[in-house]
Amino acid sequence: KAGVTQTPRYLIKTRGQQVTLSCSPISGHRSVSWYQQTPGQGLQFLFEYFSETQRNKGNFPGRFSGRQFSNSRSEMNVSTLELGDSALYLCASSSLITSGARDEQFFGPGTRLTVL
C-alpha cells in the first residue's frame, strides 16, 4: 500500500505570495490532518478534514486554509506569506475515527517551505 505523499517536497516563495501544498492520503483513509513544524514552535496542529468537511482547527490565522476533495486528497493554502511561515508542513492520514480513541496517523515526508 502506498504511503502518504506530499507535493512539492521543497518550495521557495517570497513574502506576500501565496502557496498551495498537496497531500494524497493512504488509499481508504478519509481523515487528513495538517501540521506545521518549526524549530521554535515544534509541531503544531493546523486542521483536520474528514469526508470533505473540516472537523478540527488549530490556532492559526485565517491566512491558513485547507480543503479536501471527494477522493480524500487534501490541499492547504497559505496566503500573504510571512517570513515566519517558513516551516516543514506535514500531512497525516488515518482511517475512520473510532469512538474514544484516535486511530494511528500515518505521516507523509512533508513539504519544506522557505519564505524569503
Partner 1 sequence: AQSVTQLDSHVSVSEGTPVLLRCNYSSSYSPSLFWYVQHPNKGLQLLLKYTSAATLVKGINGFEAEFKKSETSFHLTKPSAHMSDAAEYFCVVSDPNAGNMLTFGGGTRLMVKP
For 101, the grid coordinates are 480513541
Nearest to 71 by CA among 28, 107, 104: 28
Q: Which residue has 511561515 as its cell numbers?
A: 85
Looking at residues 77 to 96 of the shown chain, list those that interact with partner 1 (rule: CB under 8 A).
Answer: 90, 92
CA 80 to chain centre: 17
Q: Is the peptide bond before 61 cis (omega within 30 degrees of 0)?
A: no
Which of the ranges 17-25, 64-72, 73-81, 97-105 carries the binding residues for partner 1, by CB under 8 A?
97-105
Only one of the segments 15-23, 61-69, 79-87, 103-111 lies at the binding site for partner 1 (rule: CB under 8 A); that segment is: 103-111
Residues 58-77 touching partner 1, rule: CB under 8 A, are 58
Q: Which stretch binds partner 1 (CB under 8 A): 12-20, 65-73, 78-86, 100-108?
A: 100-108
C-alpha cell, 68? 479536501
Any idea which residue has 473510532 for its cell?
A: 98
Please say which residue, 90 or 115, places its beta carbon nearer to partner 1. Answer: 90
Footprint of partner 1 (CB under 8 A): 4, 33, 35, 42-45, 48, 55-56, 58, 90, 92, 97, 99-102, 104-110
